Structure 1
Amino acid sequence: MDSSLIQFQMMSITDDASMQQMLCIYQQTRFHVPMIELYVEFEQQSGLGVVGEEVNVDELGDIDWGEDNSDSEEEFETNYEVDDENDDRDLAGNAAAEDGEFSVRMEFGSRESVISAIKSYTIARRVDYTVYKFEPQAFYAKYKGYGEGCGWLIQASLIQNKACWEIRRYNGKHTCTMGTISQDHAKLTSNTIAEAIRPLVEADPSIKVKSIIAEVQSRFNYNVSYCKAWLAKQKSVAKIFGDWKVSYQTLPIWLKAMNVKMPRHCKPLMQVDGTHLYGKYKGALMVVVAQDGNQNIVPIAFAIVNGKTADAWEFFLTNLRRYVVTIDGVDIISDRHTFIDTAVGRSNGAWSPPRAWRMYCIRHIGSNFLRRFKAPYLHKLVINTGYFMTEQENNKNYQRLKEWSEAYTQWCDDIGVERWMLAFDGGHRWGHMTTNLVECINSVLKGAHNLPVTVIVRFTFYRLNELFTRKSVEAHECVRNRFTYSKFATKRVEESFRRARNIVVNQFDKRNEMFEVREMEDGSIYTINLAR
């Protein structure tokens, strides 16, 4: 076998979780990578083997990023890469006591909770400590200025018969002057902050870094750098929702599961949009939705790409046409993004008439008009022009716009009236003038935009699985009850029959299906062409 065809994936195995991760990856790829090569590396930590030498456990378990006080948020988030394999053994969450002080025989569930409590204690009192003993069954720390006017120390040990950690020695409150540390604290690490903000991140994964800085300032009375707060958020997200790198490795499993659930019986109409992702790896989430006969929004395809570029849109639309939207005569509504236009132009007619009709969202047309001409007093006129259903009404508004300036109507003509005016759309819009359907889905997924990629997919999968299963049951129930049309369509037909008592219909051209409809209440007359 040519060894150059085998690709190996390097990963560090440091605990049970990473071991399980390795075995999980091997199960998925064992047909392509039939072996695991394990290399053991021994590292010697300086200072640990010397009896009586002072050891700062925090320097071993965490890196103090406080010296990096870059004010450039974009530059930092672009260039910095968080180490997801940091040792977080100092994360816990037990308070020391109700009055904030320790006492002998106070019990804790683990060594981590002891360390966390001591950290919280020293941070709140603006003092620091040094670890003198850090062993599997003992932890011994003293005030960093021990012997210089303050003799604060604490010792905790594992009590095996009680299966807990207990404070064995404590000499009471600090007697030194408080407030010696003002801006940051050596023990207020990104790991400590990550644990402190965990409830906030769980409630809102999109929480701003500035809000985290404010929370730390309020809770600990310290001002931390943007760098440390951002890093703490990434660690908190990873602990709650899973590792960022592992997320991409498990992505194929979820994508395969999503392929099983595909909606059917929708209008031949789609709305597409893209939204930015704000997690560790950035990128964009592209979404396309349709609508079924009961006016339910049905997401039919997603893509996670590097960004909203022409190449990304081409990738998305090409695969959408190849695997999902395989019929012709479909309509697609989007904004006027030039990259979408470029992708459609590269599609070799796959998204052009007669296979597909591309139309624009009227709301984006209005925004583009304001940005182009800075004429807010004409915004409503432009929007109304797009909404009129008859050419007569449309032309009346169009003439009013032209009276203001021919530049306005020339701009509208350059877009193509059939792409945004209801009166000229040939019935392809199905009455949809905006991309509100797809933006509703983006709104639902907004909370997931800051999360690892698999969380986004899993979040989407469970919601869609529930939706498709429920709608499938409803559809089969309608079929069993011999309903010809959907509930929404049946209701509309019944309402139309009731209103029909107030109109008179005259047929003028049976072959071409031309009719005149006269409303008796106000005398309005409409010409209907069913062949269109």
Structure 2
Amino acid sequence: MDNLLNEIERSNAIYNLSGVDADQNHENELESDESECDEIHNAEQDDSDYSTDNDDEHIPTAPWFETEEINVNSDKQSAISAIKEYHIRSSRNFHVVKSDTTRYEASCVMKDCPWRIRVMRSKKSGLFVTTKLPAEHTCVLMTLERDHKKLTSRMIADVIKLQVIDSPYLKVSNIRNQITSMYNYHVSYKKAWIGKQKAISDVYGDWMTSYAKLPIFFSALIHFNPGTIAFIDAEAHSTKPNTSVCKRIWWGFKSMIDGWQHAPPVISIDGTFLKGKYNGKLLIAMGYDSNNQQYPIAYALVHEETTVNWSWFLHHLRLYVCQNRKSVCIISDQHAGIIEAMKMVESGFTGKWGIHRFCLLHLRSNFCSAFLGAHLKMLCWMVGSTSQVRKFEAAMTQIKEINLDAEIWLRKIPLEMWTMSRELFETVEKKTSSHKVIPYNEQRGVFEIVTAQYRTINRYWKGGNKHNVDLYRGFALVENGIDIIFHVHILWKVV
């Protein structure tokens, strides 16, 4: 009973905030704090648990705190967060006196202010309870700052954690606006960004943990998608034993690989940057379906877009995707690593197995970076996309008239790598070289062509048709009597 009466008197002394007695009570409390600190220091030498039974019975409340979470907390961090939030909202500050696994003590940064708090872990419940909270802040704020020292990136992460779960792509500007509306403080962009990264780490794990989970992830991917190809190329760590370092990863889904076997033999490859702690590049192979829509086939993660990595990517693309399919057209940008990798036999796309062409979009983008102007941009696209040599030369002439260096720049790139007209001309010329052409009749303006015969895949014979070409009237008369009106530029060769 005596202990209970003493405790009641002590509580009354602590929280009696009325007028004249306030200062005296504050001084008494500070003296009590010093004596209790000495007692706790002595207890640290005897026992690692600093809480007492009286601490469990006494849980004081402070009327000036806006939250009751300060009184009983499940862990130490929750108590610290509640203390920080109170000081941020009231535009006050404090410094830590002592902090360990079972106790947290803090006091006001102003020496004349009596505010002091102690949060300790209860021996009975294991919860962190407030055991000392003497008085309200009496210090006067001299200036108001735009940012608060206790409004850390860790606290911002705790505030936005639920929003990151709903949307990992939360904008930093929105985070700054939210913190301003909640606490009336303006945090810097860097602090808000770090807070977002910490929240993402809390929800999804940090970078090292994510990489460590890759083997488990791909094992589950293969298990739930039978036939899917996925493997990790790793090497032993140079200094840490029993530790592997991820070099590169390749994977492709069976359903997409099987579907591509019925799609056109055209694949676009490209790489993009990965934004994160370890950077890296994401390589992708994209096909096209019968509706000319994008059709993703295979992916890879590598450190850099080097010739070795591109050759490794193409090798597995040939092995698992293209397989025995011949004349596969690979479209890419003018990356030096891709150009060299396509020439390597181990990549699997040399000779009859593959054709390399440049992407006109990438080429035009590079062209526009070197030569400005909307008209030049339009002409560059016309040069690459037209199937007629006449229109190709006309567009190149216009480019030359506008900027001679632009025309030289385009012609330095092998025309067969990026223009349809040059490839069409060479293809038609190659086919027509095997046709039989009857000598031209100058009086009538007519000549005859007998197409070459060849056997199809189904072992049917095609060709051998006779065509009477009338240059004056603009049509060709075939043996079956059908007139073909010329809508395109005719490429022919008299032999």
TM-score > 0.5 by shorter chain = yes
Report the equivalent of 1:244: 207
Counterparts of 1:120 and 1:236 in 2: how far apart (Å)?
18
User: CA offset at residue 397 of structure 1?
Assistant: 2.9
Q: CA deviation at 1:249?
A: 2.0
| Counterpart in the other structure of 1:150 | 114
2:89 is aligned with 1:126: no
Judge conservation of contact 1:271–1:289 (CA < 8 Å) in 2: yes
Q: Structure 2 vs 1, CA of residues 205 and 274 (structure 1 numbering), >3 Å: closer, same or farther? A: farther
Q: 289, 293, 312: which is aligned to 2:290?
A: 293
| Structure 2 residue identity aligned to 1:126 | R
Whether 1:321 aligns to 2:314 is: no
**How far off is 1:331 after superposition?**
0.8
Correspondence for 2:276 among 254, 262, 279: 279
Between the aligned partners of 1:150 and 1:353, the Cα distance in structure 2 is 86
Correspondence 1:212-251 to 2 at 5 A = 220=183, 231-251=194-214
In the TM superposition, residue 216 of structure 1 has moved relative to its aligned partner by 5.3
Assess, with a 3 A threshold, how the Cα gap between structure 1 residues 285 and 346 changes in structure 2: closer, same or farther: same
Partner of 1:413: 411
> What are the Cα deviations for residues 95-121 of structure 1, in whole angstroms up to 9, with x where unaligned?
x99996245996655543332121211
Q: Is the 1:104–1:169 Cα contact (8 Å) retained in structure 2?
A: no
Report the equivalent of 1:511. 463
Matched, 1:101 2:66: yes
Which consecutive unaligned segments of at least 5 residues does structure 2 have?
A: 1-36, 43-60, 223-227, 230-252, 427-448, 452-461, 468-474
Shift of 1:335: 1.6
Moved more, 314-323 or 98-107: 98-107
Give the corresponding residue for 2:81. Answer: 116
Q: Shift of the alpha carbon at 1:383? A: 0.6
Q: Name the SS for the 1:130 alignment partner.
A: strand
| Further displaced range: 265-274 or 392-401 | 392-401
The AA in structure 1 aligned to 2:79 is: V
Cα shift at 1:184? 5.9
CA distance in 1, matches of 2:69, 2:191: 34
Among 346, 370, 373, the alignment partner of 2:371 is 373
Percent pairwise identity: 29
Number of residue pairs the alignment of both structures matches: 356
Structure 1 residue runs without a partner (length 5+): 1-48, 55-95, 429-506
TM-superposed deviation, 1:266: 2.8
Specify whether residues 279 and 513 from structure 1 end up closer, same or farther in structure 2 by C-alpha distance, changes over 3 A only.
farther
C-alpha distance in 1, partners of 2:381/2:109?
72
How large is the Cα RMSD of the aligned pairs? 4.6
What is the one-letter code of the residue matched to 1:308? E
Q: Note the C-alpha offset of 1:351.
A: 3.0
Displacement, 1:330?
0.5
Return the TM-score normalized by structure 1: 0.54
Question: 1:254 maps to which residue?
Answer: 217
Q: Counterpart amino acid of 1:119?
A: K
Mapped pair 1:302 → 2:265: no
* Paired residues of 1:127 and 1:179 also in contact (CA < 8 A): no
Bigger relative contact order, structure 1 or 2, given CA contacts below 8 A and separation 6+?
A: 1
User: Which whole-Å deviations, capped at 9, do the CAs of 1:147-185 have from their partners, x for residues lacking one?
Assistant: 723335465776978x97666765564222236684765
Q: Which has the higher strand share?
A: 2
- Aligned residue type for 2:309: A
Q: Which residue in 2 is equivalent to 1:481?
A: none
